[in-house]
Amino acid sequence: MRHIAIIMDGNGRWAERRGLPRYEGHRRGSEIVRVITEECAELGLEYLTLYCLSSENWKRPKAEIDFLMELLKSYLISERPRLQKNNMRLSIIGSRANLPSDVIAEMNTSIAETASNTGLNLCLAINYGSRQEIVESVRRIVNDFLPNGSHADSDPNNVITEQFFEQYLYTANMPEPDLLIRTAGEMRLSNFLLWQLSYAEFWVTQTLWPDFTTELLREAIDDFGKRERRFGAILNS
């Protein structure tokens, strides 16, 4: 296994069940991100992609969004020493539209400062929507085949393959996730990595993200190891 993707669901419900404001669930959730990220690095995983903020989350109350932006900025700043200590490289996928300029600045700093690290590739999906990603990719491909584009002299029928298309996605040069973990018992993709998860194995737990543990992570990995991945083929018995 090279790549795990996680939909971290249930922060708000975790807080509400305890009579706490929703932002306390998000705060606790960010602490679990640190624990699980370090565990993945310890296990030798190459890539970990976390669904932090979807492009649909802007529909939430402004006060919650403002808190999430401050929490994100604080996380980016406070985690830099830990990323460096654990030799982790940070990448971020999603649209930067609507993100505050100070958050974008911290994103750029963390990406630049960890670019030469060779351990776990930690990818945060922020203001991310997979349909949006695919549409943007198609637009860029079209532009590249227009006059003066980088593929203006090429025949699209001969050039556009699945591999070609993948290089226009946010996740270009990343391996597809082997395993998708989703917390809080939800059984849907929620517009997350629709292309990239085509052949991933799914593992769902009723546990809310703030209660997710390294033991559950290892359980998911162990379960993955027992599955046969046929990719449409028939394996020899």
* Every domain of the chain and the residues it spans: 3-129+175-225
pLDDT (tens, 9 = 90+) of the chain, 237 residues, equals 999 999 999 999 999 999 999 999 999 999 999 999 999 999 999 999 999 999 988 989 999 999 999 999 999 999 999 999 999 999 999 999 999 999 999 999 999 999 999 999 999 999 999 999 999 999 999 999 999 899 998 999 999 999 999 999 999 999 999 999 999 999 999 999 999 999 999 999 999 999 999 999 999 999 999 998 766 666 565
**Of 225, 224, 220, nearest in space to 36 by CA:** 220
**Amino acid at residue number 86:** N
Alpha carbons 66 and 219: distance in angstroms, whole number: 35
Q: What is the DSSP string of 100-150?
A: -HHHHHHHHHHHHHTTT--S-EEEEEEEE-HHHHHHHHHHHHHHHHSTTST
Q: How much is the pLDDT for 229?
A: 73
Q: Which residues of 84-109 are buried (b: 16+ CB within 10 A; e: fewer)?
A: eebebbbbbbbeeeebeeebeebbee
Alpha carbons 65 and 16: distance in angstroms, whole number: 17
Q: How much is the pLDDT for 236?
A: 62
Q: How much is the pLDDT for 228?
A: 81
User: What tokens were used for 67?
Assistant: 């808190």
**Of 64, 128, 72, 61, nearest in space to 100 by CA:** 72
Return the CATH superfamily for domain 3-129+175-225.
Decaprenyl diphosphate synthase-like (3.40.1180.10)
Alpha carbons 30 and 117: distance in angstroms, whole number: 22
- As a whole number of Å, the end-to-end CA separation of the chain is 22
Annotated catalytic residues are 9, 57
Contact between 9 and 29 under an 8 Å Cβ cutoff? The reply is no
pTM: 0.93
Alpha carbons 34 and 78: distance in angstroms, whole number: 11
